[in-house]
Amino acid sequence: MKDPPSTVGRPVRRRPPLRGDLVTLAGYHSPQVQVEVRLNTNESPLPPPRAWVEALAAEVAGVEWHRYPDRHALALRQAIAAHHGVGPEQVYAANGSNEVIQALCLAYGGHGRRVAVFEPTYRLHSHIPSVTGTDVVAGRRTPGLALDGAEVRRVMAETTPAITFLCSPNNPTGMVDDPAVVAEVADQGGGLVVVDEAYGQFSRWSALTLVDDQRPLVVTRTLSKTWSMAAARLGYLVGPAWLVAELEAVTLPYHLDALKQVAGRLAFGFEAEMSERVAAVVDERTRLVAAMGDMAVEQWPSEANFVLFRPTGGDGHAVWQGLLHRGVLVRDCSSWPGLEGCLRVTIGTPAEDDAFLAALAEVVGP
């Protein structure tokens, strides 16, 4: 498919002018290139369980399509809540966890307010606030790319952010934040703390243990990664009941369609299958990391379904192109601040990972 011609930068005649602050905001996208082996967006390499597809098909026949869906998506939220051992009033669901982040920015950010992020991290944590008119202040991670408690305290004290975004395991580093630092940040009383746990199933600990009505902290999760349901566009947060109630103010009526509500509710009946997938990915990751250890690359310790690495002495972008030339697409982070020369590879099926390892060995050499 060809992209439509770019209209950016052409003079506006009869067209309404785009909001000024959006003109300079580069869009977020990972190129969707048609190649054999796609290891660039951290999806699950496996489709969802067949039994889930069949259960969904059976329930879809019973959907009352002429009626609006349940506005509060109660059955879905009950399924999520039961999975985490909380109440449905502590769960807010939306069209992907990115939409959850957008709702949080609409509700607690906006003009004259700031969010804090700690780079390098997930780029949408600054892109989505910007789109909602919220200013972004960026702190740094340590040279080893870990979250630094002193730096978080400094940024929060100096800039009083309305929202502080943490990400554990962090994308694109794969590293898990120190639980003591996260707890301390949440108790600092400096606005809302969002812990993005898109890869939480891989982590040795979860900030879900910190969720409490007395603490301004939420944990976001998604069905796009470990749950093998990226196509369904479903994410959620677990947080204080008062916050979930307040988010209603920025949520469009009936924002979760009936099909998605059923798909998500049924997914939580397949927890064992999800856990098996996580274990299989971890096995593959271990194999990949060991094989890459024999190649001319530096890598970071990952507790997620991807690995950040930097070809030593080489040009990261050239390596990315070399891999693409051999039919393997990974994420090119080489131009991102703090990630000079780095690439990120998603753990795939054994066959996909073999293709990646063979291509990488050819491009960077042993």
Can residue 222 be called a binding residue for ligand PLP (CB under 6 A)? yes
Strands in 192-196's sheet, in edge-to-edge order, are 91-94, 235-238, 217-222, 192-196, 163-167, 114-119, 135-140
Binding to ligand PLP (CB under 6 A) within 262-321 occurs at none
Window contacting ligand PLP (CB under 6 A); options: 73-81, 94-102, 178-186, 282-290:
94-102
DSSP 92: E
Which structure tokens are listed for 274?
A: 């999800």
**Residues 198 and 224: beta-carbon distance below 8 Å:** yes
Q: Could you tell me which stretch among 130-138, 218-226, 239-247, 259-267 binds ligand PLP (CB under 6 A)?
A: 218-226
> Amino acid letter at 14?
R
| Least distance to ligand PLP, CB of residue 171, Å | 4
Contacts of ligand PLP in 224-263 (CB under 6 A)? 224-225, 235
Q: Show the CA angle centred on residue 276, arms to residues 303 and 342, nearest 5°.
A: 30
Name the minimum Å distance from CB 13 to ligand PLP.
Answer: 36
DSSP state string for 58-90: HHHTT--TTSPPPTT-HHHHHHHHHHHTS-GGG
Element of type H or E holding 238: strand 235-238
Residues 23-62, mask of contacts with ligand PLP (x by CB under 6 A): -------------------x--------------------
The residue range among 95-103, 106-114, 253-261, 282-290 that interacts with ligand PLP, by the rule CB under 6 A, is: 95-103
Please, what is the minimum distance in Å from the beta carbon of residue 332 to ligand PLP? 16
Task: For residue 301, give both structure tokens.
Answer: 């310790």
Is residue 97 involved in binding ligand PLP (CB under 6 A)? yes
Residue whose CB is less far from ligand PLP, 161 or 169: 169
Of residues 159 through 188, those in contact with ligand PLP by CB under 6 A are 167, 171
Contact residue for ligand PLP among 148, 196, 303, 332 (CB under 6 A): 196
- Decide whether 250 or 361 has the Cβ nearer to ligand PLP: 250
Confirm or reject binding of residue 129 to ligand PLP (CB under 6 A): no
118 versus 363: smaller Cβ distance to ligand PLP: 118
- Nearest residue to 124 (alpha-carbon basis) of 247, 244, 30: 30
Residue 194 near residue 164 (C-beta atoms within 8 A) = yes
H or E segment and range at residue 236 = strand 235-238
HEC readout, 300-347: CCCCCCEEEEEECCCCHHHHHHHHHHCCEEEEECCCCCCCCCCEEEEC
332 counts as binding ligand PLP under rule CB under 6 A: no
List interacting residues with ligand PLP (CB under 6 A): 42, 96-98, 122, 167, 171, 196, 198, 222, 224-225, 235
